[in-house]
Amino acid sequence: MWQAVLALAGVVVGGIIAGSVALRQLRLFTDRERVARQAEREQARKDARDALQRDTFLALQDAIADLWRMVVDLHGEAVKVEEKTGHWPMPSRFGELPAGFDEHVACVQGLRARIFDDELRRLVAELNTSILGVLHAGERERAARMMAGLTETDEQLQERIHVLLKELF
């Protein structure tokens, strides 16, 4: 009889141990699955963030190139006007600038808002300020100095974009 009770107790204890081991394995498996799903979500979020930044950098380069073309054209026109009239023309408001200029500035500012890198954001803001400074320089020499500064800022900006794009790949 004792042998039957001991056998029954052995079966019960064995079942409890086997059940505990099975539950522990199941818990470990679900924990690993949860961690793996979380890692996948984080990777997907990082990939989406990187894609947004990459697309923004490329769009920003295009928008800045368009804005540059307009500024160079305006500067060239101002030089011609000064050569004819003897004084440097200075637009007093955006309405006197070519059609679409304000839209280009707004586009660059909108793209700036999507940039996460503080240094690049600073360079874009500096570029916009310099562009407006060139257009409102008031005299040829000052405008030429500001154009040189604008070129330097643009080179720094393009270099920063290059570094950031390399980090994304």
**What is the predicted pLDDT for the residue at 134?**
85
What mean pLDDT comes out for the span 116-138?
91
Per-residue pLDDT tens digits for 51-85: 999 999 999 999 999 999 999 988 888 889 889 99
Assess if residue 161 is contained within a domain.
yes
Lowest mean pLDDT among 37-41, 77-81, 146-150: 77-81
Q: Is residue 106 part of a domain?
A: yes
Tell me which of 10-24, 51-65, 104-118, 147-161 is least confident: 10-24
Query: In whole angstroms, what is the distance from residue 12 CA to residue 18 CA?
Result: 10
Domain count, the chain: 1
Query: Considering the domain boundaries, does residue 103 fall inside one?
Result: yes
d(CA 155, CA 149): 10
Residue 116 lies in a domain: yes
Is residue 164 included in any domain, yes or no? yes
% pLDDT > 90, the chain: 50
Please report whether residue 92 resides in a domain: yes
Q: Tell me if 3 is assigned to some domain.
A: no
Q: What is the 3-class SS of the chain, one letter each residue?
A: CHHHHHHHHHHHHHHHHHHHHHHHHHHHHHHHHHHHHHHHHHHHHHHHHHHHHHHHHHHHHHHHHHHHHHHHHHHHHHHHHHHHHCCCCCCCCHHHCCCCHHHHHHHHHHHHHCCCCHHHHHHHHHHHHHHHHHHCCCCHHHHHHHHHHHHHHHHHHHHHHHHHHHHHC
Domain that holds residue 60: 49-168
Query: What does the pLDDT look like over 82-98, one tens digit per residue?
Result: 899 988 887 655 556 77
With 0.75 as the threshold, say if the pTM is over it. Answer: yes
Distance CA 74, CA 80 (A): 10
